[in-house]
């Protein structure tokens, strides 16, 4: 699978590419660096503010007309691959996430649908926020010995450190759902139980 | 009787158009700043799923402001506090009365000047009204019983007086060249051509320095960045810091109306008002000899269209300036006003006078 971040990085690189359409940004950067090194009094012409005002308005107008043209072209369905803005329209268009980003937890399942967790209490012990609460019970299979009767994870307290995932001997808990918007109307509904954690 | 009716229609029409342009400017400002900064801008407000490119945000804003609590701080002078926003808006709006939006319209025996108030001292009238606008600012700052508001009011007063003088001195050159204070006459005088009929005798070509001076001073007059020291959101919030609801909205509206007024004034004084290039009362007379006759109504319509296009250009320009340049420091502002712009405008008057006498 292609990494969405890589794509974003390439886009940004295009932004600062020497041959790209934003080369003037680069030039302005270099000019500023040069000016920083060679500071001097303003000349008469510069102290009228006119050259800087004109160059500033020139810069912003370039962006204005470029984006305006692109927006108009987009509405008629042309050049959709050139973005007209640098922003994401968040709920409709989520930001690309890194593959290893720690997002909301999930509990893994065995083939028969029971949780993979053996209720060893490692994650509960290591959790710095003390937000995991496990009630253990016996597993019907004597080879497995234990399973969680209830697995409560308070996402309102969790600091997303990922220690629980690191410490788990059974690879039973993972933080790879890609969900970041754990917003709820009350603190109680931020507390996830076993059923909700196993949903996906 | 019908004279009064026509005047009434003209006045209400002008007011209606200008009000709507000012209201639309909240949208223009958001969208233009967004495009300039590679963003998209407000686009969420919708009516039955129609978003209309965020146009409804202007309506949503007004509804929000109307339904908010009208807060009057303790210790404020209630009468002056309530009066200030009305003064601001009123003086910004009445200025439009003297702006000519088109040439005279001839209907049968009746000649209608497309200008709400046909004053022969229109320019002085507009300047008087614009300088009255400072009372809104000062009263708001003075009556809210808040140090920040007071600071904003004082800054506003000092700034507007300083730049008012430059503005007045800058248009002296234009008045001298065109020899009139009547804006309709002034626009008509800009219909002449120089350089063998190629260059229109617009204010910007005969008084380029005055144009730059006027542009700067007028931007300061609208109290918007880079001259937004009376407001200065990031430092003192400004003279309207204690206002809430629609009264705050009125200050906001006054700013936008002033932007439109200044754009219209600049169009009238320097860009030939309703003059279209090479358009004479009976049609186009191109300098290379071609003639294209047009009916009277089309000529007048083109003029009105040209006027509004020029105004839109200036509004666009003022917005671009507002979203590009950073704010001045207060001492820089005063230095620029008193030590640079005022002397330069006086020199401009002297040079113009000498040239006019030499040409005579
Ligand atoms: S991510 Fe960290 S804080 Fe959250 S449950 Fe796991 S160990 Fe606890
Ligand atoms: S560390 Fe893993 S196996 Fe142990 S209780 Fe936590 S989730 Fe279950």
Kindly list the distances between the CA atom of residue B201 and the CA atoms of A196, B84, B299, in Å, as whole numbers in the listed order: 77, 41, 19
Domain ranges, ordered by start, for chain A: 4-58, 106-199
pLDDT higher than threshold 90 for residue B347: yes
The answer to whether the Cβ–Cβ distance between B38 and A53 falls below 8 Å is: no
Q: In the prediction, which pLDDT does A1 show?
A: 55
Q: What is the mean pLDDT of residues B272-296?
A: 82
To the nearest whole Å, the CA of B109 is away from the closest chain A CA by 47
Please write the tens of the pLDDT for every residue from A27-85. Answer: 788 888 888 887 778 788 887 788 888 999 999 999 999 999 998 898 888 888 888 88
Domain A106-199: assigned CATH number: 3.30.70.3270
Cβ–Cβ < 8 Å for A192, A152: yes
Q: What percentage of chain A exceeds 70 in pLDDT?
A: 92
The answer to whether the Cβ–Cβ distance between A87 and B40 falls below 8 Å is: yes
Q: Which residues contact B301 (CB under 8 A, 6 or more apart)?
A: none
Q: In the prediction, which pLDDT does B52 show?
A: 76
Please write the tens of the pLDDT for every residue from B183-206. Answer: 888 888 888 888 777 888 888 888
The answer to whether the Cβ–Cβ distance between B35 and A67 falls below 8 Å is: yes
Confidence of residue A22 (pLDDT cuts 50, 70, 90): low
Q: What is the mean pLDDT of residues B63-92?
A: 88
Q: What is the mean pLDDT of residues B214-222?
A: 88
Q: What is the mean pLDDT of residues A194-200?
A: 86
- How many A×B Cβ pairs under 8 Å? 43
Q: Write out the two tokens for B250.
A: 């009125």
Q: In the prediction, which pLDDT does A166 show?
A: 94
Confidence of residue B237 (pLDDT cuts 50, 70, 90): confident
Q: What is the ipTM score, two decimals?
A: 0.83
What mean pLDDT value characterizes chain A?
85
Atom of ligand 1 lying closest to residue A126 CA: 7
Atom of ligand 1 lying closest to residue A175 CA: 1
**Length of chain B, in residues:** 360
Cβ–Cβ < 8 Å for B136, B34: no
| pTM, to two decimals | 0.80
Does ligand 2 have an atom closer than 6 angstroms to the CB of A167?
A: yes
Q: What is the mean pLDDT of residues B125-152?
A: 88
User: How big is chain A by its Cα radius of gyration, in Å?
Assistant: 27
The answer to whether the Cβ–Cβ distance between A64 and B321 falls below 8 Å is: no
Q: In the prediction, which pLDDT does B317 show?
A: 92
pLDDT higher than threshold 70 for residue A140: yes
What residues in B contact A57, CB-CB < 8 Å?
320-321, 324-325
pLDDT higher than threshold 90 for residue B235: no
To the nearest whole Å, the CA of B316 is away from the closest chain A CA by 10
Q: In the prediction, which pLDDT does A15 show?
A: 62
Question: Is the Cα torsion angle A94, A99, A103, A108 positive or negative in sign?
Answer: positive
Q: What is the mean pLDDT of residues B207-220?
A: 89
pLDDT higher than threshold 60 for residue B210: yes
Q: How far is the CA of A148 from the centre of ligand 2 (A)?
A: 9
Confidence of residue A152 (pLDDT cuts 50, 70, 90): very high
For residue B226, is the peptide bond before it cis, meaning its omega torsion is within 30 degrees of 0?
yes
Mutation choice for ligand 1 from A100, A132, A179, A191, CB with most ligand atoms inside 8 A: A132
- The residue that leads in pLDDT, A50 or A123, is A123
Q: What is the mean pLDDT of residues B135-146?
A: 88
pLDDT higher than threshold 90 for residue A129: yes
In terms of DSSP bridges, do strands B279-280 and B199-200 run parallel, antiparallel, or are they unpaired? Answer: unpaired
Does ligand 2 have an atom closer than 6 angstroms to the CB of A132?
A: no
CA proximity to B257, closest of B9, B11, B16: B16
Q: In the prediction, which pLDDT does B131 show?
A: 86
pLDDT higher than threshold 70 for residue B278: yes
Confidence of residue A182 (pLDDT cuts 50, 70, 90): confident
């Amino acid at each position: 699978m292609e990494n969405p971040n890589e794509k974003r990085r390439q886009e940004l690189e295009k932004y600062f590419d020497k041959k790209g359409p934003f080369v003037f940004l680069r030039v302005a950067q270099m000019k500023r660096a040069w000016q920083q090194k060679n500071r001097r009094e303003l000349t008469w012409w510069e102290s009228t503010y006119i050259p800087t005002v004109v160059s500033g308005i020139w810069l912003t107008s370039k962006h204005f007309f470029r984006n305006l043209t692109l927006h108009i072209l987009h509405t008629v369905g042309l050049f959709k691959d050139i973005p007209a803005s640098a922003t994401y329209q968040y709920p409709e268009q989520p930001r690309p996430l890194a593959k290893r980003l720690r997002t909301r937890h999930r509990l893994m399942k065995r083939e028969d649908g029971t949780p993979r967790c053996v209720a060893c209490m490692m994650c509960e012990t290591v959790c710095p926020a003390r937000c995991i609460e496990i009630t253990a019970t016996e597993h019907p299979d004597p080879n497995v010995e234990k399973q969680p009767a209830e697995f409560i994870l308070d996402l309102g307290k969790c600091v997303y450190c990922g220690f629980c995932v690191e410490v788990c001997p059974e690879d039973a808990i993972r933080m790879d759902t890609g969900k970041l918007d754990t917003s709820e109307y009350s603190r109680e509904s931020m507390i996830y139980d076993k059923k909700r954690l196993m949903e996906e | 009787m019908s004279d009064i009716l026509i005047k009434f229609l003209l006045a209400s029409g002008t007011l209606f158009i200008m009000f709507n342009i000012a209201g639309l400017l909240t949208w223009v400002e958001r969208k233009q700043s967004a495009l300039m900064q590679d963003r998209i801008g407000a686009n969420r407000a919708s009516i039955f799923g129609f978003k209309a490119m965020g146009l409804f945000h202007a309506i949503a804003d007004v509804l929000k402001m109307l339904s908010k609590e009208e807060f009057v701080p303790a210790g404020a002078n209630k009468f002056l506090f309530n009066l200030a926003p009305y003064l601001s808006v009123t003086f910004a709006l009445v200025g439009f009365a003297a702006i000519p939006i088109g040439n005279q319209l001839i209907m049968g025996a009746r000649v209608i000047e497309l200008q709400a108030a046909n004053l022969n001292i229109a320019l002085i009238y507009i300047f008087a009204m614009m300088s009255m606008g400072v009372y809104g600012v000062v009263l708001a700052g003075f009556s809210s019983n808040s140090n920040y508001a007071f600071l904003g009011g004082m800054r506003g007063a000092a700034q507007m007086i300083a730049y008012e003088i430059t503005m007045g001195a800058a248009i002296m050159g234009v008045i001298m060249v065109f020899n009139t204070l009547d804006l309709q006459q002034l626009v008509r005088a800009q219909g002449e051509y120089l350089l063998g009929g190629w260059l229109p005798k617009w204010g910007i070509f005969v008084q380029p320095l005055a144009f730059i001076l006027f542009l700067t001073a007028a931007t300061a007059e609208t109290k918007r960045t880079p001259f937004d020291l009376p407001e200065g959101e990031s430092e003192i919030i400004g003279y309207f810091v204690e206002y809430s609801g629609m009264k705050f909205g009125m200050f906001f509206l006054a700013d936008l109306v002033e932007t439109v007024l200044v754009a219209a004034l600049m169009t009238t004084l320097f860009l030939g008002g309703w003059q279209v290039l090479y358009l004479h009362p009976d049609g186009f007379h191109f300098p290379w000899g071609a003639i294209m006759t047009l009916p009277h109504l089309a000529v007048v319509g083109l003029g009105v269209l040209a006027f509004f296009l020029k105004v839109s250009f200036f509004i666009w320009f003022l917005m671009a300036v507002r979203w590009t340049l950073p704010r001045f420091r207060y001492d820089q502002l005063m230095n620029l006003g008193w030590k640079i712009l005022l002397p330069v405008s006086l020199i401009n008057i002297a040079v113009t006078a000498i040239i006019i006498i030499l040409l005579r």
